[in-house]
Amino acid sequence: MTSAEQVSVSTPFNGPVEIGLRALAILNESFPAGYSLQRLVVFDYLVVHSDDIPGGPVGLHPQTPHRGGELLVRRSVLEEGLLLYQSRGLLERRYTDQGVYFAATDRSAAFLDALDSEYLEHLRDRASWLITELGALADDEMNQLADRHIGEWGAEFAMESVLHIQEGS
């Protein structure tokens, strides 16, 4: 390989296909309602880390240190995922007085029903829980929830590290 060659590395985890699929599951649960990109960023975080909400189900992904920072890097990848699923007719973009919203289409449920995996089953369960628990919140309420907790999500690992260092001293 020469230095002029570019290597393209693609990861299936938290890439546009996976994040788009999670958004599709969330939007399918709220059909026919739609959500803004910002709300979907927060919802994607919460569907993955549902155990960050008191009383929420076990998260789809493990609790990692500083996971609250994930909210800051998801937006562009989520947007790519939404556009991918939109290009296949599984999502639609709606232009409203409140801004741009994304919504599932009448084809979304059939697509999700055709997929068969344990991960997708758990994803759909958490998406249903998420919409039941938080779907009725206004966008500003959802942003306030995220703003209040972003420093806490994943911070317990940092505190645990400090305690272990102090105990070992």
pLDDT tens sequence across 39-69 = 998 899 889 888 878 888 988 765 655 555 5
pLDDT at 53: 80
pLDDT at 38: 87
Residue 152 lies in a domain: yes
For the chain, which ranges sit under pLDDT 70? Answer: 1-13, 61-73, 149-169
Q: Count the domains in the chain.
A: 1
- Dihedral sign for Cα 38, 44, 49, 52, please: positive
pLDDT at 151: 54
Q: Pairing relation of β-strands 99-104 and 34-36?
A: antiparallel
Per cent of the chain over pLDDT 70 is 72
Domain that holds residue 124: 16-168
Residue 54 lies in a domain: yes
Return the structure tokens found at 28: 């399918």
Residue 9 lies in a domain: no
Strands of the sheet containing 34-36, edge to edge, are: 34-36, 99-104, 91-96
Residue 158 lies in a domain: yes
pLDDT at 167: 44
pLDDT at 121: 95
